[in-house]
A = this chain, B = another copy of it.
Amino acid sequence: MPVPAANLYPDFNTIRLSHVCLNVKDLAASKTFYTEILGLQITDEDDTRVYLRAMEERGHHCIILQASDQPGTVEVMGFKTFDEDDLDRAKAYFEARGRPTEWVERPYQGKTLLTSDNMGIPLEFYHKMDRLEPIHQKYALYRGVKPLRIDHFNVFSSDVDASVAFYSDFGFRVTEYTEDEESKKLWAAWMHRKGGVHDMAFTNGTGPRMHHVAFWVPTPLNIIDLLDLMATSGFVKNIERGPGRHGISNAFFLYALDPDGHRIEIYCSDYQTVDPDLEPIKWDLKDPQRQTLWGAPAPESWFKHGTTFSGVETKDSQMKATPIVAP
């Protein structure tokens, strides 16, 4: 039985994924991609950073684009806690597991704990972030794919079993997973805190590297609009995979690469997972419909390409490469 039971009463309460800071080469080019094409809203910007939020978000930022001499790397992934005291409990928790911890200053955020997970992924936890006026009913502002909110992270892990065990301990719950029937090892797993299919997913591969960060949109038609827009605005080569429906999560998806190669998923149609007794759905690694319900294989790049975390070394997985089989 490869999926550990989640800790239903974790030491601290993580509400949801919150934001990611991406290192980019050309801030202007990235800004165009994230605002004109994806349709995110700028909440602040200066010479080195652009802060963005999606249409239904009231927190200050879900993406920070940061000009960097290490473009194409990820700086940090952010999570929001239920209250301020959770931060101290989180600090004690990670320290007890031998992880480095540090209080850091972050613009627009209150007290913020910087730490890292068992694989070295830089994580930051905060409770307070500047709150902004609602804009979800300012329909004249909607552009691009009309992104409503950041939805989840997906990362390559060189040992998915270890990653899942680590996150289960502080309350992440598995909703779906892929198992290698022979080795009984996990190939991939989707874990949540906020009541959807995932806040964080792990997939087997050289890691840790970010596979993608995903945004939720209202309907599949918004994704089709995005494809039409990208295809006729100079971004056709940034379209990597889709549209399609994943067997896993039942998501209608599109994957695109930003100008630095950070992969973005646009996504709708997941389901509610708030029941603590929700049974994880198991998929066989050999079932091609787990990847695409409709059968079309993913391109090789989708299995191989990811963006590293700034300053974090990667390690190859001991599991052999995924069998890419058409149904």
Binding site for B on A (CB under 8 A): 8, 15-16, 56, 58-59, 80, 82-83, 127-128, 131, 134, 136-140, 148-149, 194-195, 218-221, 224-225, 227-233, 236-237, 239, 243, 245, 247, 250, 252, 269, 271-272, 274-279, 281, 289, 293-296, 327
A59–B278 alpha-carbon span in the complex (Å): 9
| Interface contact A137-B232, CB-CB below 8 Å | yes
Q: Which residues of B contact A229 (CB under 8 A)?
A: 139-140
Q: A231 touches which one: B131, B232, B293 (CB < 8 A)?
A: B293
Q: A227 touches which one: B134, B281, B294, B327 (CB < 8 A)?
A: B294
The 7 A-B pairs of least Cβ separation, nearest first, read A139-B228, A56-B271, A219-B219, A231-B293, A139-B229, A227-B294, A236-B295
| Interface contact A140-B271, CB-CB below 8 Å | no
A219-B219, A228-B245 given as contacts; is B276 within 8 A of A83 (CB)?
Answer: yes
Q: Which residues of B contact A247 (CB under 8 A)?
A: 137
A138–B277 alpha-carbon span in the complex (Å): 22
Interface centre among A8, A128, A245, A296 (most CB of B within 10 A): A296
Q: Which residues of B contact A219 (CB under 8 A)?
A: 218-221
Interface centre among A243, A272, A278, A293 (most CB of B within 10 A): A272
